[in-house]
Chains A and B, each alone.
Chain A
């Protein structure tokens, strides 16, 4: 079983498993939406005293914060006990494209040339990690959800606003990938 789970998963198995998480939460009377936790943490930190947006009862969202803590533990378990020795099966086309950006494909989950503190503490690293994080926090609250809230939960309920949000995700992602990265990684 452990050995079976450790092999790379086919895409359809991952998709079904993600829908399974949504099903568990729906049948618990909850909504699958991870980015709400960023608001919950701001509220928990007491920002509601100064900013009315965070003036809500975060304790009612404790379940989602436990889910967040679980996701950190799950990442630890998967990386330490369920990892496969095989390199990531990235497409040859993607390997070539990233090579042109001077990002060598190392077969790991994240590129070692970017995901390290030396790169992070450079100007580009701060834009990528701190700036990127800022855009994630600002954008998900503005749009009222992230991939789980809109692309999975919202679209499953055939919500037009979620479709608009997902189109937005792609406009933003394509803009950075195709127009900014060639300049950024030069």
Chain B
């Protein structure tokens, strides 16, 4: 039952990512060139709604569907990790025009070349796991 719930949520996510055009290489280029408000509007609306949602959950100490109080884990660690990791991911985002979610959504759309992006991303993740203690954290 739970499996079906997350599968369905994922299906809706895939449809949203496609119809929003956030999976489009063109749209990501347009965003990084500041040539349209479109992507900023999407991320901004999601963010403002998210900030209100999280604030309300905290204020009213809401519980999840299992009855467990909802908690948000703070992100910890050194700023270098977020900045350097962010820059590296941003370069990959501009090259492929896709972040991790859209990579898989595009595969479903029939863009078989995304298999190579997925293999690259898994290799990148594995190499990070291998050398992470040697990086500034």
Query: Please, how many residues of chain A have a CB less than 8 angstroms from a CB on the other chain?
Result: 117
Bitwise, A68-107 to B at CB < 8 A (1) or not (0) is 1111111111110010000010110110011000000100
A26 in complex: contacting residue of B26, B57, B108, B119, CB < 8 Å:
B57
Q: Which of B4-44 contact A (CB under 8 A)?
A: 5-33, 35-39, 41-44
Decide yes or no: A74 and B108 within 8 Å by CB, A37-B100, A110-B24, A144-B85 being known contacts.
yes
Q: A133 to B24, Cβ gap below 8 A?
A: no
Once bound together, how far apart are the Cα atoms of A54 and B82, in whole Å?
Answer: 20
What are 26 A-B pairs at a CB distance below 8 A?
A11-B38, A14-B42, A15-B44, A19-B46, A25-B9, A28-B6, A29-B65, A42-B122, A53-B130, A67-B10, A74-B14, A74-B16, A109-B24, A109-B109, A110-B24, A110-B25, A127-B95, A128-B95, A132-B117, A137-B127, A138-B128, A139-B86, A140-B89, A145-B75, A146-B99, A173-B28
A contacts, CB < 8 Å to B: 5, 8-9, 11-12, 14-19, 21-29, 31, 34-35, 37-39, 41-42, 47, 51, 53-54, 62-64, 66-79, 82, 88, 90-91, 93-94, 97-98, 105, 109-111, 114-117, 120, 126-148, 150-159, 161-162, 164-178, 181
